[in-house]
Chains A and B, each alone.
Chain A
Amino acid sequence: MSFARGAGGGAAAEEAAEESARDLIFGLLKEDDAELVSPFQGIDKAVVVQEVRVFNENKLRVARCVRVLVRLMYLVHQGTTLSKAESTDVFFAVTKLFSCDDAGLRRLTYLAIKELARGTDEVIIVTNCLTKDITSTVDTRRANATRVLCRVTDAAMVAQIERYLKQELVDRNANVASAALVGALTLLEAGKGEQTVRRWSSEVTQALTHPYPMVQYHALALLYRLRRRDRLALSKLVQDVARQGARSPLTAVLLLRCVGQVIEAEGGASGANARQLISFLESMLRHRSDMVIVEAARVLSTVRGIDAADLQPAVNAMQIQLASGKPVVRYAAVRTLNQIAAGHPHLVSPANNDIENLVADANRSVATLAITTLLRTGTESSVDRLLKSMNKLLNDLSDDFKVTVIEAVRALTLKYPHKHHGLIAFLGNALRDEGGLEFKRAVVDTLFIVMREIPDAKEACLHHLVELVEDCEFAALSVRVLHVLGTEGPQMPQPAQYVRHIYNRIILENPMVRAAAVSALFRFARVSTLRDSIALLLRHCLLDNDDEVRDRAALYLEMLGEASSSSSPPLMPSERVTPTPNSSSSSSSSGDESVVDGELPVPPENLQAALVSFLRRDEAERGAFDVSKVSKVPPPAATARLSEAEAGRARLSAGITAVDGGGGGGGGGGGGGVSSTAAGTALPGDAAAAGAGAAVSAFRHPLQEEFLRALTGATAAATAAAAQLPSWTRGRSPFKSSTVLELTDAEAEFLVAVMKHVYEGEAGAAGVLLQFRVENTLDEQVLAQCRLQVDASELSQLSVAGTLPATVPVACHAVAWTYVWLEPTADAMPPCIDTGTLRPQLAYVLQDAEEASSTETPDATAAWEDEYGLEEFDLDTADYLHPVPVRGMSFKAAWEALGERAETSTTLRETFALPHESVAAAVKAVIAFLGMAPCEGTERVSATATEHVLLLSGVFVGNAQVLCRGDVSAAADAGVNLEVMVRSEQPAMSEIIMASIA
Chain B
Amino acid sequence: MDQPRVVAFVIQNNAGKRLLARYYDAPAFPTESSRQELEEQLHRKVAATTAGRGGAAVAPLSDLGAGAPWGASWNGDDVEVVLLPGGYTALAKPSADVWLAVVARSEENELVFAQVLNTVYSALSALADEVRELRILRHYEAALLVLDEVLDDSGVVLETDPVEVQERLAPVIARPVNLAEQSLSEALQNATASVTRSLLK
What residues make up the interface of A, taking CB atoms closer than 8 Å to B? Answer: 1-4, 14, 17-18, 20-21, 23-28, 30, 33-34, 36, 38-40, 66, 69-70, 73-74, 77-79, 81, 103-104, 107-108, 110-111, 114, 140, 144, 147, 151, 175, 178, 182, 185-186, 189, 214, 217-218, 221, 224, 228, 248-250, 253-254, 257-258, 260-261, 290-291, 294-295, 298, 325-329, 331-332, 335, 362-366, 396, 398, 401
Contact = CB atoms under 8 A, between A and B. Distances in A.
A398 B52 contact: no
B28 interface: no
9 contacts: A2-B138, A2-B141, A77-B21, A79-B21, A79-B32, A182-B156, A257-B1, A258-B1, A365-B80
Contact of A33 (B36, B134, B195): B134
A218 B156 CA distance: 9
Contacts of B77: 325-326
A545 B73 CA distance: 73
The 9 closest A-B pairs by CB, nearest first: A291-B111, A21-B194, A79-B32, A326-B76, A398-B48, A331-B81, A17-B194, A221-B3, A24-B191
Contacts of B141: 2-3, 66, 69-70, 73, 104, 108
Interface string B133-172: 1110111111011001000111011111000000010011
B61 interface: no
Given A253-B112, A332-B109, A364-B49, A175 B195 contact: no
Task: Name which of B35, B79, B132 has the most chain A CB atoms within 10 A of its CB.
Answer: B79
B81 A108 contact: no
Contacts of A36: 134
Most buried by B among A26, A28, A70, A254: A70
A643 B1 CA distance: 29
A362 B140 contact: no
A26 B51 CA distance: 35
Contacts of B4: 250, 253-254
Contacts of A24: 177, 187, 190-191, 194
Contacts of A1: 174, 176-177
A2 B154 contact: no
A77 B22 contact: yes
A957 to B, nearest CB: 37
A148 to B, nearest CB: 9
Given A182-B154, A365-B82, A40 B137 contact: yes
B66 interface: no
A108 B142 CA distance: 10
Interface in B50-99: 50-53, 76-77, 79-83, 91, 97
Contacts of A66: 141
A328 B76 contact: yes
A332 B194 CA distance: 55
Contacts of B81: 327-328, 331, 363, 365-366
A107 B109 contact: no
Contacts of A33: 132, 134-135
Given A1-B176, A79-B35, A79-B36, A291 B109 contact: yes
Nearest to A30: B179
A295 B35 CA distance: 29
Contacts of B148: 107, 110-111, 144
A290 B83 contact: no
Interface residues of B, number: 70
Contacts of A40: 137, 140
Contacts of B187: 24, 27-28
A14 B193 CA distance: 12
B173 A17 contact: no
B152 A182 contact: yes
Contact of A21 (B21, B115, B191): B191
Nearest to B39: A79
Contact of B194 (A18, A254, A327): A18
Contacts of B40: none
Contacts of A77: 18, 20-22, 144
Residue of B18, B35, B76 contacting most chain A CB atoms (<10 Å) = B76
Nearest to B187: A24
A140 B152 contact: no
B173 A20 contact: no
A71 to B, nearest CB: 9
Given A2-B139, A24-B187, A250-B157, A104 B173 contact: yes
Contact of A14 (B52, B190, B201): B201
Given A34-B97, A332-B109, 19 more contacts: A2-B173, A18-B198, A28-B187, A28-B191, A33-B135, A66-B141, A74-B140, A79-B21, A79-B32, A79-B35, A178-B158, A253-B4, A291-B109, A326-B77, A327-B80, A362-B50, A365-B82, A365-B83, A398-B48
Contacts of B50: 362-364
A335 B80 CA distance: 14
Contacts of A14: 197-198, 201
A145 to B, nearest CB: 13
A175 B168 contact: yes
B114 interface: yes
Contacts of A260: 1
Contacts of B191: 21, 24-25, 28
A66 B141 CA distance: 9
Interface string B5-46: 000000000000010111000000000100110000000000
Given A17-B198, A36-B134, A79-B35, A328 B79 contact: yes
Contacts of A110: 148
A151 B144 contact: no
Contact of B145 (A38, A107, A221): A107
